Amino acid sequence: MKPVREMLITLVEHFPIGAFPGGTNDDQPDGGSDPFRVLISTVLSQRTKDENTYIASQRLFSKYKNPAELAAAPIDDLMELIRPVGFPKAKSKAIKEIARIIHQDYNDRVPNEIDKLLALPLVGRKTANCVLVYGFGQDAIPVDVHVHRISNRIGLVSTKTPEETEIELKRVVPKDLWKFINTVFIAFGKRICTPRNPKCLICPINRYCDYFTKKIR
Ligand code: SF4
């Protein structure tokens, strides 16, 4: 059994806790962010880099600030504003429809239940869990490809899909640390535990890692 709390606290000490995709340093996983902004920005972040998401998100929310405004926006204008994130047609259609549903069905308040979030266009478990963590401060684990890859590489879980990884991480990670996993693993995965040639010799948790034990040591 790995000392999961010790491992994660070590990572939190080395890698700053960050924002949701498209957020700023003020957006921490404590429920202090606007759930609508978390939701829309995380949808925009699909299949693009954080830098692009930030630019598109800033452009979008400087013009359309709430569900009612976004629901009424011309689709051509939305496509132009979010063009940096790619897939402008599909994403602009999805965010406009999300805004309409939040405005009409939920009285402008993003729901804080995962099943209702998952029913929205282009919203998968990672996006829904981001909303729960950053928008509502709930204990949840957004699992993207990086969290899935690193969790398996270290040997925290042995899973085939991000969905399975979310379930297994919830079994092995203390609940009070769930909301930090995504943000810390993303920073860790960019700087140290990179997909190719991870920097294992300077990794602060290498003594706990299965990959290090099998391939490097
Ligand atoms: S030892 Fe290497 S593979 Fe293991 S967590 Fe650290 S960087 Fe990643």
Confidence of residue 1 (pLDDT cuts 50, 70, 90): confident
The protein residue whose alpha carbon is closest to atom 8 in ligand 1 is: 193
CATH code of the domain containing 179: 1.10.1670.10
CATH code of the domain containing 93: 1.10.340.30
Count the domains in the chain: 2
Contact 110, 120 (CB under 8 A): no
For residues 202 and 81, what is the distance between their CA atoms, to the nearest angstrom? 41
- pLDDT, average across residues 97-104: 98
Q: Is residue 33 over pLDDT 80? A: yes
The tens digit of pLDDT for each residue in 168-190 reads: 999 999 999 999 999 999 999 99
Query: Does 147 lie in the same domain as 132?
Result: no
Atom of ligand 1 lying closest to residue 198 CA? 7
Query: Does 181 lie in the same domain as 166?
Result: yes
Residue 98 belongs to domain spanning: 35-136
The per-residue pLDDT for 8 is: 95
Rg of the chain on CA atoms, in Å: 18
Q: Is the CB of 22 under 6 A from ligand 1?
A: no
Cα-to-centroid distance, 206 and ligand 1 (Å): 5
Cα-to-centroid distance, 179 and ligand 1 (Å): 21
pLDDT, mean over the chain: 96
Tell whether 70 is covered by a domain.
yes
